[in-house]
Structure 1
Amino acid sequence: MKVASKKLRASANGQDCTVRIHGTCNFDPSTTVLAHLPCGQKGMGMKGFDTVAVYACSACHDVIDGRAGGEVDWSDMPRAIAETHEALIRAGILAVKGAA
């Protein structure tokens, strides 16, 4: 089941970038979007699951999607996903059954 949610995507508006690529990030929450990470479901015109995505400023998003030069430290993406999920849980948009 592919997870796609307008509410998840809209939640990125005004959020801090969780990617923060060194030397690239513009740290401008007004440019933040829900950026989908490669997960086998991504390709030209296809988005991955909305749950495998991070809050990314426009500059970091361009690097993730290959529209701009720069290097993504993919080993840092679990942290970015965790920070994004924590923000979604705090906002009441993402819930985990049985969690306290």
Structure 2
Amino acid sequence: MTREQAMVMIARAMSLTGLKAAQTDGADASVAFTDAEEVSGYARSGVAAAIRAGVVTGKSGGRLEPKAFVTRAEVAAIVKRLLEKSNLI
């Protein structure tokens, strides 16, 4: 599973937990990353929502690495942040 696929799944899980992404002026949250153009079209809204909610952070060097495979450790950290920000743990 790629990082962008994981972010899309987390964005969908956010709707189940009631976690809302921070409102912005319409700017895509992923543009802050140097490789934002690598995010697939289908994943852009999910990636942006996960970033705005603070559930997903980038990697070193200001990169998002959307096409890289997500590790178990990254998934654990993302799920933990989702549950904490949703006040479920």
- The answer, yes or no, to whether TM exceeds 0.5 is no
For normalisation by structure 1, the TM-score amounts to 0.31
Q: Which has the larger radius of gyration?
A: 1
**TM score, norm. by length of structure 2:** 0.33
More strand by share: 1
Higher helix share: 2
Per chain length, whose mean CA-contact separation is higher, i.e. which structure has more relative contact order (CA < 8 Å, sep 6+)?
Answer: 2
